[in-house]
Chains A and B, each alone.
Chain A
């Protein structure tokens, strides 16, 4: 567990993943080829690298207590469908899309709503918990909330988010700034409502 955590942390700090042996070929390419050739245990490395991304994507869409199990399910599904991935460099966007689809399926199946009443959130605005801020982020448009969660929850930097999601750095930068602005407005609204008792 500690080793896996250390590896994930190290990978998050290094930005773009590159194989130590080849300069041009992403490490995903070698890992995916190995997995498709029968070395299923190599999939664990991909899991370590991309689990934070999937976790972040799910956290913006499904209840927190469901996220961990769904992360596992999504990676097992990805392992079964790995042969359909034509471009190994697109593993990040591919698995993020699987996570988004799975989150939609979850809501279709369970009919659980994760939206939070703004007044309820505002009542404790001065002493916010992480859960409450996450609920405010969930009220933002999809593009902003995903980027914000990856930045603040998963601790990725802008370039890392771009590398994993397949978005351009410029798009991520815009999403971060606009998302942050909207979040601040939401928090401001919440603070005002709490102060006025409304």
Chain B
């Protein structure tokens, strides 16, 4: 038997194989046009994964935006130094700030910035307002409604992310053949 001819029909033709080819060649596939019904369409590609990711990102961004907006609007107003504090002992006249007092006693050509200030030991101890822990003021009805909206948006985003994660985890294997 000619191995080369059996493999790719090259080389000297083998009589036995030629005979088999001629005989079995009569059973060869006879081309027929494929009748595709007009209603039949190829199934759609699975595009839900990129869509789900995009939707999740969008939802997270919206939620973050709402949260930032909410925290800014509900932040307490900055405490003004000029406000009179209850129980505070005034150590200066309101109409004459301390800098002005210092500047008025300085010689000409020397500004207040050039002077090294010493801590005023007579001044009563007061907590730095930056680090004071404040209890948040009670929310108004509108703020409560906004808070509810943010919570709902966050829950929605969480549910969508869970769904997307579940779908990606239950994807069929590559090239799984289903009849």
Contact = CB atoms under 8 A, between A and B. Distances in A.
Given A72-B35, A82-B42, A101 B24 contact: no
Interface in A30-77: 35-36, 38, 40-41, 43-44, 47-48, 51-52, 55-56, 59, 64, 68, 71-72, 75-77
| Chain B interface mostly | loop
Interface of B: 1, 3, 6-9, 16-17, 20-21, 23-37, 40-46, 172, 174-179
A157 B43 contact: no
10 contacts: A41-B36, A43-B34, A48-B31, A51-B34, A68-B30, A72-B35, A134-B24, A155-B21, A159-B8, A184-B16
B24 A153 contact: yes
B42 A155 contact: no
A77 to B, nearest CB: 7
A85 interface: yes
A87 B42 contact: no
A154 interface: yes
B42 A79 contact: yes
Contacts of B176: 84
A80 interface: yes
A40 B24 contact: no
A135 to B, nearest CB: 11
Contacts of A105: 179
